[in-house]
């Protein structure tokens, strides 16, 4: 029974004393207490060695002391026992930062090129529209020219027909006039003879 009570007391204690050195994996905040509501004392850079003073498994915070003597609480999960791993992590974070910057630059370049591509596409669409309008105007112009040519040919044919009709009318009028003239001559010759014959016939009576 005493052993059980002692076990429960030991497991219920939130703080466990640990006198050892750990390394910070990621840049983390050093706070005055165990929680985000406590004041931030300073930032601890990745790979910084710290001395572990005590740890609370329930809250997930560990109280550490900086090389300069400053003490405070940080999240336990950001501590590692491997200094080489911490250094590699620092190098990896630097690489990640550089890749992030490069990715941001590439993203900006891509956005700029996409904007330029959109502008070029809009200009191309405008040129295509103007080209289509020009082709339509050219086609319409050709149709108008063809209609004009057919109209000119029709006018020329009508002028020929009119000239032919005029020539035929003049000829008919000429023939009619000649016929009237001949008829007049004949009547001028025949009528006096007829009168003369009548007079002789009357004198014979």
How does pLDDT run across 194-203, given as a tens digit for each residue? 665 555 555 5
Q: What is the pLDDT of residues 71-90, one digit of tens each?
A: 999 999 999 888 756 556 66
Query: What is the distance of C-alpha 179 from the center of its chain?
Result: 88
pLDDT (0 to 100) of residue 73: 97
Q: Quickly tell me which residue has 């002028």 as its tokens.
A: 159
Q: How confident is the model at residue 23 (pLDDT cuts 50, 70, 90)?
A: very high
How far are the Cα atoms of 109, 156, 178, 182, 192 from residue 186, in angstroms, in the given order? Answer: 113, 44, 12, 6, 10
Mean pLDDT, residues 28-32 taken together: 95
Higher pLDDT, 137 or 12: 137
Mean pLDDT, residues 60-69 taken together: 94
Higher pLDDT, 113 or 4: 113
- Are 22 and 80 in contact by the 8 Å Cβ rule? The answer is yes
DSSP secondary structure of 123-176 = HHHHHHHHHHHHHHHHHHHHHHHHHHHHHHHHHHHHHHHHHHHHHHHHHHHHHH
3-state class (DSSP) for residue 25:
coil
Higher pLDDT, 157 or 89: 157
How far are the Cα atoms of 67, 128, 135, 140 from residue 143, in angstroms, in the given order? Answer: 94, 22, 12, 5
Higher pLDDT, 188 or 32: 32
pLDDT (0 to 100) of residue 162: 78
Pairing of strands 49-56, 71-75: unpaired
- Are 41 and 72 in contact by the 8 Å Cβ rule? The answer is yes
pLDDT (0 to 100) of residue 30: 96
pLDDT (0 to 100) of residue 56: 95
């Amino acid at each position: 029974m005493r052993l059980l009570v002692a076990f429960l007391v030991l497991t219920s204690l939130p703080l466990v004393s640990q006198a050892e050195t750990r390394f910070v994996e990621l840049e983390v905040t050093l706070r005055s207490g165990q929680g985000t509501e406590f004041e931030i004392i300073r930032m601890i850079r990745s790979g910084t060695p710290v001395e572990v003073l005590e740890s609370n498994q329930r809250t997930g915070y560990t109280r550490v002391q900086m090389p300069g003597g400053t003490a405070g609480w940080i999240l336990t999960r950001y501590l590692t026992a491997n200094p080489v791993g911490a250094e590699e992590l620092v190098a990896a974070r630097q690489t990640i930062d550089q890749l992030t910057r490069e990715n941001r630059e590439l993203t900006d370049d891509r956005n700029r090129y996409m904007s330029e591509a959109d502008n070029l596409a809009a200009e191309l669409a405008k040129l295509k529209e103007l080209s289509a309008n020009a082709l339509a105007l050219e086609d319409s112009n050709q149709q108008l020219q063809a209609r004009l040519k057919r109209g000119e040919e029709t006018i020329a044919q009508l002028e020929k027909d009119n000239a032919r009709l005029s020539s035929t009318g003049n000829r008919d009028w000429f023939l009619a006039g000649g016929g009237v003239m001949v008829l007049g001559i004949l009547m001028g010759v025949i009528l006096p003879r007829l009168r003369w014959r009548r007079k002789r016939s009357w004198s014979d009576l």
